[in-house]
Amino acid sequence: MTTEGQSQARPVVEIAGVSKVFDGRAQRATRVEALVGIDLSIAAGEFVSLIGPSGCGKSTLLRLIGDLTPPTSGTITVNGKPAERARRDRDYGMVFQAPILFDWRTVQGNVELPLEISGASKAQRQQRAMEHLRLVELSDFAGHYPWQLSGGMQQRVAIARALAVDPALLLMDEPFGALDEMTRERMNLELLKIWERTETTIVFVTHSIAEAVFLSTRVVVMSPRPGRISSIIDIDLPRERNVETRELEQYFHLVTAVREALRGDERSGGSPDEDGDDIAARRVAAEGLSG
C-alpha cells in the first residue's frame, strides 16, 4: 500500500455540486430530486461506503460516478478526467447486485469479456483472467458455466471480471445484497483481501451498517428526499481487519455512530420504506437503453 499521506494527495473521484433530477416526461408530478448538492472527494486507496435508506440516491450517485447516467448539474471527475472520458478509458470496474454473467460463456470467458472489448491479445486475456480467478479463488472453475456455480461464486466471478482490466476504481452496487448472511460475511473478508492485494479504490453501496463499518475507511451517510449527504464518518479501525474486528469495542462505537446518523435522517423526514432509489435506478436503466 502507498502511504496514507501520498494517497490523500490524489483524489480518484471528485464530485462537486452535483444534482440529479428525474423528470417524469408526462407529468410534472413525477419529478424526483434524486440528489442535490453533492460534494465528495475520494482519495486513491480509500474504501468508501455509501449507506442510507431506500430513496436516498446512493445507487444513483454510484451510477453518476460510472457515467451510466449524466448528472443534471455539477461536475464529476474520475482519475482527473470527466466521468465520461474515464468510462471510455475503462478506468473503473463495476459490480452490480446481480452477477450478470453471460450464460453462453465459461467462467473464464466471462472474466475475459472486458479484456476482449478493450482489445487485449488472446494470450494476455487468458493470463489476466486466470490471474484474477486465482485472486477470487475460483481457478478450478475456469471451465465451468455460470449456472453450475452458487450465487456467492457467481458474484466472485463478477468481481474478478471487474478487476480484470486493473481499474483504478472499483464501483460496487450492493454486490452482496442477494447473498445470505454467512456467505456475505465471508465475501466481506475476501473483498478486503482483494482490496489489499490490488490497491484499488473502492466505492461501495450497501444497506448494511455492519458491512459498511467493517469494510470501509469512510462511511458516507445519505438521507432521502431530496437525496443528499448528511454526514461522513471516518472509520479509524486498524487497516488489517479480520473476524475479531467485529468484536472490538471501537467497532461497536462506530456501528452506533452510523446508526445514529441514519436515525437522525429518519427524524428529519426520511422514510426507509419507500423504494424511490430503486425506482430511480430503474428509470435510469431505461433511459440508458433508449439513448
Partner 1 sequence: MGRSASARRRLRPLVGFLTVFVVLLIAWEAVKFIGGDTWHIENVLGTGATFDHDPPLKFAFATDIKLPHIWAIAGEFGNQDAVGDTTVTRLLRAALFTLRNAAIGFALGSTIGMLLAILLVHVRFLERAILPLVVASQTIPIIAIAPLIVIGLKADWFGVAIVSTYLTFFPVTIAALRGLRAFDPRAMELMRSYAASKWAILGKLRLPASRPYLFTGFRIAAPAAVVGSIVGELPSLIQDGLARQIITGMQYYSLNAEYLWATIVVSSLLGIGVYLLVAGVENWVLRHERRPEAAAA
By the criterion CB under 8 A, which residues form the site for partner 1? Answer: 66, 68, 87-90, 92-94, 96, 98, 100, 102-104, 113-114, 116-118, 145, 147, 285-286, 288-289
Of the two residues 34 and 209, which places its CB atom closer to partner 1 in the complex? Answer: 34
Q: Which of 191, 98, 92, 188 is nearest to 146 (CA)?
A: 98
In whole angstroms, how close is the CB of 128 to partner 1 at the nearest point? 14
Q: Give the nearer residue to partner 1 in terms of CB position, either 106 or 188.
A: 106
Rounded Cα distance between 63 and 139, Å, is 30
Q: Please state, in angstroms and rounded to a whole number, the distance separating the CA atoms of residues 110 and 288.
A: 23
Closest CA to 44 of 17, 20, 79, 75: 79
CB of 90 to partner 1, least distance (A): 6
Q: How far is the CB of 170 from partner 1 (least distance, A)?
A: 11
The residues with which 218 forms a beta bridge, in sequence order, are: 48, 234
Which C-beta is closer to partner 1: that of 102 or that of 252?
Answer: 102
CB of 106 to partner 1, least distance (A): 8
State the minimum distance, in angstroms, from the CB of residue 281 to partner 1.
10
Question: For residues 208 and 102, what is the distance between their CA atoms, to the nearest angstrom?
Answer: 28
Cβ proximity to partner 1, 52 vs 93, nearer residue: 93
Smallest distance, partner 1 to C-beta of residue 103, A: 5
Grid coordinates of 158: 463478477
Nearest to 47 by CA among 224, 166, 191: 191
The CB-of-251 to partner 1 minimum distance in angstroms stands at 33
Nearer residue to partner 1 within complex by CB, 188 or 200:
200
Listed residue (25, 95, 27, 39) closest to 66, CA to CA: 95
Decide whether 101 or 262 has the Cβ nearer to partner 1: 101
Q: How many CB atoms lie within 10 A of CB 147?
A: 8
Q: Closest CB to partner 1 among 161 and 225? A: 161
Whether 225 and 276 have beta carbons less than 8 Å apart is answered as: yes
Side-chain-facing half-sphere of 18: CA atoms under 13 Å: 31
